[in-house]
Amino acid sequence: MIILGIILLVIGLIADISILTWLGIILLVIGAILAIMGGMGRAVGGRRHYY
């Protein structure tokens, strides 16, 4: 999810498409939160790790 967020963010910035930029930022934030929670050992959505 983090990688997809980075890709959308870069494409949005290069092509000057604001919706892709916002989607990329949102996916980056959600991916980072899930990665941090999974790294702390907390099960998120029934899964301990998100890869």
pLDDT digits (tens, 9 = 90+) for 1-51: 889 889 999 999 999 888 999 999 999 999 998 888 777 776 766 666 555
Quote the pLDDT of residue 51. 56
Tell me how far CA of residue 4 lies from CA of 21, 37, 39, 41, in angstroms: 12, 19, 20, 24
The DSSP annotation for 1-51 comes to: -HHHHHHHHHHHHHHT-HHHHHHHHHHHHHHHHHHHHHHTT--BTTBS---
- Position 47 scores a pLDDT of 64
**pLDDT on residue 40:** 76
In this predicted structure, what is the pLDDT of residue 22?
Answer: 94
